[in-house]
Amino acid sequence: MGAVADPVLGQLQYGQVQWLPGPLERQARENHRLLLSLDEDSMLRPFRVRAGHAAPGSDLGGWYDADAFAPGATFGQWISALSRYHALTGHEPTRDKVHRLVRAYAATIEPDGRFYRNNRFPAYIYDKLAGGLVDAQCFAGMGDAVAALAHTARAALPHLPDRAMPRNEHSQPGEDFTRHAWDESYTLPESQFFAWHLTGDDLYRALAIRFLYDDFFSALARGENVLPGKHAYSHVNALSSAAQAHLSLNTVMHLDAARQGFAMIDAQSYATGGWGPDEHFIEPGSDALGASLDGTRSFETPCGGYAHIKLTRYLLRITRDARYGDSMERLIYNTVLGALPLQPDGRAFYYSDYSRHARKGFHWDRWPCCSGTLPLVAADYAISLCFTDLHGLYVNLYAPAQVAWQRGGIACRLTMTTDYPYDGTISLQLSIPTSLRFILRLRIPAWVSTAHVQVNGRSHPAICEPGTFAALDREWQPGDRVDLQLSMPLRLLKVDSLHPQTVALLAGPLVLMRVLDAGAEPEGAPGAESEAEPEGEPPAAAVAEPDAAPAAQPDPDLAPAARELLRARELLSARRPYATARDWQVQTPHRTLSLRPFMDIRDEGYRVYQDIADDAP
């Protein structure tokens, strides 16, 4: 056969996945419920006020208001997320809310785009609105959304720059924010390609091409690391535009840019998969990642998570390389799933804190960017779970769920049961009406030491090579059951090569974070075996006033027990007291330490990286 490239893996529809109780299901349910509860007049106020229309209801506050930092910036993402939750659950009140909001929003659009005048983020907001209107049509059956999209594009166009512009072209004092580039025009192509595919209107194709950030992409494609100093989240998000440009225009350079750019980001990531301390990329090979552990703004979690998961989904579908799935799950379990839930008053989790005495907190402003992306992240777990090709099904994430798909017109269903990633046992129950040949592929993470597959209780000879998909090619029978057993080895990862004694402990995909105190739990609550927090501990910088310098937490201020250096072998001896425990324990000569995954940490102090007295093996 000639060198015909494999076609891109097919993505499931949201409605093909039904979650069963688990961490992914929990975060999706919480965000769906929160968006359903938001007052519609309040959501619409920035658009109505700026159009000079009557605007009943109260302001949401924070970044969102008509004269605030980013007016209505998350509205489009909320429309997207509600549409995707409708597709996921079939919930009719969710669809009705999308239809009401889009209709009311459409009534505020004016041809001269008054909304975008004196607005810091015309491209950012247009991008999110376009995405929301495309999704309202695709996932919530809102036929009028396409017309609202066309009006939105016409209104925004005079206020968009001529090309993708660097974000660091800051505004001048007193400027009226109409033409400057402190905006993210370089993330626009992805939504414009979607709009083009949906409508066939060449205007959107032209806009997509106009905003391709080809200076940036071609440098990455040549292998030049031009990331240092760049705003982290928005440039990772731009790589999804490169991936979509490759799919839409068949350009090799854009795929090279996405792959090379991702590899450069991966090389400067924390053990959690997060990147971009203080929202910026660092110099490769420098000590900046280790040095960043003195700060608290370690990773812009919901936005960064959204961009990273979307990019790895593209790259996995295009290349079929299982390691993009490894990267995706590492980021899901160690960052976004541990985000504090978005609150009805707009308090939102923003930065993950990897300082030596870290604590979770909300952003100082209500309704920041991350309140738009967290609901999208949680909705999109469903389309990252499994993929299809001509030969069968790829299972990428391991989570309790039912997946329905068609094969040769035959309805198939797979029910996944697992306590992953706490446990490496995954059961897959197949439900098909008749015998059927196809290949079931299971992701074998690169970090496993051993992996075994059984079919109907008998060992299966599938090759379980770490970092690949194991292929089970078989004439499947109704009721067949597959059991996958992945080892979850403990291992240490250095923060960077210049800090060999600063390490994170991992169990399978989970980073185990050292619990430093019991947080605000009542006295005598579980966790009393952990070290006590000293009296008068200052609040975490993540909840401090805007633009306060990150409050370094020098070790001498910590309780003596929290300063104690561990040994590598002590960390690697971490065990759970019983099989289903959520905490691991390390015994030192002086005490028992608790280690906990990020998604199980609430308000207790924690430490991601441990300073050890000897070098990691």
C-beta closer to Zn ion: residue 160 or 374? 374
Contact 405, 16 (CB under 8 A): yes
- Span from 92-100, 127-135, 245-253, 299-307 in contact with Zn ion (CB under 5 A): 299-307
- Does position 303 interact with Zn ion (CB under 5 A)? The reply is yes
Residues 164, 90: Cα–Cα separation, whole Å: 38
Backbone angles phi, psi at 474, to 5 degrees: -165, 155
Give me the least distance between CB of 301 and Zn ion, in Å please: 8
Backbone angles phi, psi at 60, to 5 degrees: -75, -30
- Does position 369 interact with Zn ion (CB under 5 A)? The reply is yes
How many other CB atoms are there within 10 angstroms of residue 262's CB atom? 22
- Span from 297-305, 328-336, 479-487, 540-548 in contact with Zn ion (CB under 5 A): 297-305
Beta-ladder partners of 403: 17, 414
Q: Which residue, among 200, 180, 274, 181, has the nearest Cα to 232 in the 3D structure?
A: 274
How many other CB atoms are there within 10 angstroms of residue 328's CB atom? 26
- Span from 19-27, 293-301, 477-485, 510-518 in contact with Zn ion (CB under 5 A): 293-301
Q: Is 556 exposed, middle or buried (0-12, 13-18, 19+ CB in 10 A)?
A: exposed
Give me the least distance between CB of 352 and Zn ion, in Å please: 12
C-beta closer to Zn ion: residue 302 or 597? 302
Contact 94, 59 (CB under 8 A): no
Residues 508, 447: Cα–Cα separation, whole Å: 7
Give me the least distance between CB of 370 and Zn ion, in Å please: 4
C-beta closer to Zn ion: residue 293 or 370? 370
CA distances to 120, 123, 212 from 162, in Å: 16, 11, 11
Residues 186, 495: Cα–Cα separation, whole Å: 30
C-beta closer to Zn ion: residue 24 or 303? 303
C-beta closer to Zn ion: residue 164 or 303? 303
- Does position 370 interact with Zn ion (CB under 5 A)? The reply is yes
Give me the least distance between CB of 377 and Zn ion, in Å please: 11
Residue 85, SS3 per DSSP: helix
Give me the least distance between CB of 73 and Zn ion, in Å please: 10
C-beta closer to Zn ion: residue 138 or 369? 369
Give me the least distance between CB of 119 and Zn ion, in Å please: 18
Q: How many helices (H) and strands (E) does the chain have?
A: 17, 21
- Does position 374 interact with Zn ion (CB under 5 A)? The reply is no
Give me the least distance between CB of 212 and Zn ion, in Å please: 23
* Residue of this chain nearest to Zn ion (CB atom): 303
Residues 401, 414: Cα–Cα separation, whole Å: 8
- Span from 56-64, 292-300, 330-338, 571-579 in contact with Zn ion (CB under 5 A): 292-300
Give me the least distance between CB of 482 and Zn ion, in Å please: 39
How many other CB atoms are there within 10 angstroms of residue 586's CB atom? 21
Q: Is 146 exposed, middle or buried (0-12, 13-18, 19+ CB in 10 A)?
A: middle
Residues 116, 127: Cα–Cα separation, whole Å: 12
For residue 273, which amino acid is it? Answer: G
- Span from 151-159, 298-306, 311-319, 517-525 in contact with Zn ion (CB under 5 A): 298-306
C-beta closer to Zn ion: residue 256 or 300? 300
C-beta closer to Zn ion: residue 351 or 381? 351
Total of chain residues touching Zn ion, rule CB under 5 A: 4
C-beta closer to Zn ion: residue 303 or 403? 303
C-beta closer to Zn ion: residue 155 or 370? 370
Give me the least distance between CB of 371 and Zn ion, in Å please: 8
Give me the least distance between CB of 69 and Zn ion, in Å please: 12
Query: Contact residues for Zn ion (CB under 5 A)?
Result: 300, 303, 369-370
